[in-house]
Amino acid sequence: MFPSSDFSFSASSLFSAYASLTGFLMLFRSMLHDFVPAKLRSYISDLLNRFFTQRSKNLTMVIDENFGLNRNQVFDAAEIYLRSKIGPETTRLRLGKLPKQKHFAISIDKGEEILDTFEGSELRWFFFQSENEKGNKVKRYYELTFEKKLRDKVMNSYLSHVVAESEEIKRNLRVVKLYSRDVDATDDDDGMAGGEWGCINLEHPSTFDTLAMDPNAKKKIIDDLERFLKRREFYKRVGKAWKRGYLLYGPPGTGKSSMVAAMANYLKFDVFDLDLSRIYDNGELKRVLLSTTNRSILVIEGIDCSADVIDREAEYEETEDGSGKMTLSGLLNFIDGLWSSFGDERIIVFTTNHKERLDPALLRPGRMDVHINMSYCTGLGFRTLVTNYLGLDGLNHPLCEEIEALIDSTQVTPAELAEELMQDDETDAVLRGVVRFVEKRIKTMELDAATCKLVNDDETIRNSSRNGSNKKKQGKGKGRKAY
């Protein structure tokens, strides 16, 4: 315990010192205001704040809607990307839908916060929207806040990740277009294709899951497409145009058009359907192909039906107006010649019912890189059809195993089987109808084979008879000459 006299002395001393310090500070402030210029006072104030104010560990980046006079691509990417990060803790959302969109578009409202994680680090997004006094929108921007030590990671990796993810989301949501020169009314919102083409939405429901073909064959096609998409730098390094050619061959009704639709739906690539019979010369072919877009599939159906294309010997001939005609060399120049390097991520699909009719110049790698045999339906393919049309697993129905064995021993197309599966609403009745259809096809094939054998045997007998008669005549002729 301190003596009371000591405590009184200490208290009075402290009070006196405080009063003196306060008076000094007031005098210093007055002198500072009277004799020190304003700019110097501001500098001294900032310097003191820097020393005595605790520094923040966070860094905030402001991402405005516009960058100069143009749209800010990072802002647009963030707007799309953050839609996938909306969680249950978000309290306000913006909702919208365009007439041609299949899904509602949801995004965060002003003042909302989104927490994101990237490689173990936390980042916070805030959306702000300022308004003037009349309530009109003035400025929209995002603030991205993170620890300062993450700056290099954000600049070098995270923002690139945001942009890449937003592009993937856009691809998955976009509506695939089918372009044709026969379509006058266009539905091309992007306005990317040239005036040679009109388009409609490609609403074909075919996917690789619904294709009635061997699962291993489908996997090989999917793997090839995925490998193609990831090889931009590879194609550039080896000096090849970033394109890939596919040949779909097989009898009618085996699913060539469905395969094209499945590829387009899987890749989210637009489809350009080119009818070579309506191309009059190489110049028009060049103009039409140059008006197609990147990330697209160019389909040339029935390539064997164009006499000028399948005939290697066809030469350039001028017509009355001097324009000439389309030739095989003109087509090849766009497939793998100098003109093939226009555009990126191009897939060319040729279809034919008769592969043997095609010129070997078309079939080699670099032009038709992958040959896909769209053959008759197999037992495994039938299982897919049963799932698609009847909604059941083929392995769980007693008739399916019998049908699969019958199908593997005959030639029937997926289109024919699909038609049979639509004949009734009752599953057992439908499958019994398929059994009768396939058995009838087997009998027809056996009858055709027997008839063909009889014709061949008869032809063999006639040929033998003619050969024997000729030998007798030759023998008689020799005898008379010797005589």
HEC letters along 205-226:
CCCCCCCCCCHHHHHHHHHHHH
Three-state DSSP class for 347?
strand
Over residues 334-359, the mean pLDDT reads 81
Please give the pLDDT value at position 279: 81
Q: Which residues contact 112 (CB under 8 A, 6 or more apart)?
A: 90, 91, 92, 93, 126, 127
Retrieve residue 466's tokens.
């003619």
The residue with greater pLDDT, 456 or 284, is: 284
Please give the pLDDT value at position 284: 84
Distances, alpha carbon 275 to alpha carbons 285, 286, 336, 383, 434, in Å: 10, 14, 20, 34, 36
Identify the DSSP state of 253: T
Retrieve residue 282's tokens.
């190489």
Please give the pLDDT value at position 479: 47
Q: What does the alpha-carbon distance between residue 169 and residue 163 come to, in Å, rounded to a whole number? A: 10
Q: What does the alpha-carbon distance between residue 227 and residue 190 come to, in Å, rounded to a whole number? A: 27
Is there a contact between 197 and 275 (Cβ–Cβ < 8 Å)?
no
Structural domain spans, the chain? 58-173, 177-372, 379-444
- Alpha-carbon dihedral 208, 210, 215, 220, rounded to 10 degrees: -10
Comparing 146-155, 324-333, 417-426, the range with the smallest average pLDDT is: 324-333
What does pLDDT average to over the chain?
A: 80
Over residues 428-452, the mean pLDDT reads 86
Comparing 50-54, 144-148, 296-300, 326-330, the range with the smallest average pLDDT is: 50-54
CB neighbours of residue 389 within 10 Å = 18
> pLDDT digits over 28-48, tens only?
677 766 666 777 767 667 666
Q: What does the alpha-carbon distance between residue 436 and residue 429 come to, in Å, rounded to a whole number? A: 11
Q: What does the alpha-carbon distance between residue 418 and residue 431 come to, in Å, rounded to a whole number? A: 11
Please give the pLDDT value at position 132: 66
pLDDT exceeds 80 at position 72 = yes
Categorize the per-residue pLDDT at 320 as very low, low, confident or very high, splitting at 50, 70 and 90: very low
Over residues 167-180, the mean pLDDT reads 86
Q: Which residues contact 479 (CB under 8 A, 6 or more apart)?
A: none
pLDDT exceeds 70 at position 135 = no
pLDDT exceeds 60 at position 10 = yes
Retrieve residue 24's tokens.
């000094």
Please give the pLDDT value at position 325: 67
> pLDDT digits over 250-293, tens only?
999 999 999 999 999 999 999 999 888 888 888 888 888 888 88
pLDDT exceeds 50 at position 109 = yes
Categorize the per-residue pLDDT at 60 as very low, low, confident or very high, splitting at 50, 70 and 90: very high
Please give the pLDDT value at position 64: 92
- Alpha-carbon dihedral 211, 212, 213, 214, rounded to 10 degrees: 100
> pLDDT digits over 358-381, tens only?
888 888 887 889 999 999 999 888
Q: Which helix (H) or strand (E) holds 195?
A: none
Categorize the per-residue pLDDT at 306 as very low, low, confident or very high, splitting at 50, 70 and 90: low
pLDDT exceeds 90 at position 297 = yes
**Phi, psi dihedral angles at 251 (to 5 degrees):** -65, 160
Over residues 58-63, the mean pLDDT reads 92
Categorize the per-residue pLDDT at 464 as very low, low, confident or very high, splitting at 50, 70 and 90: low
Please give the pLDDT value at position 323: 47
Q: Is the dihedral of CA 20, 25, 30, 36 positive or negative?
A: positive
Please give the pLDDT value at position 397: 81
Architecture of domain 177-372: 3-Layer(aba) Sandwich (3.40)
Identify the DSSP state of 155: I
Please give the pLDDT value at position 278: 82
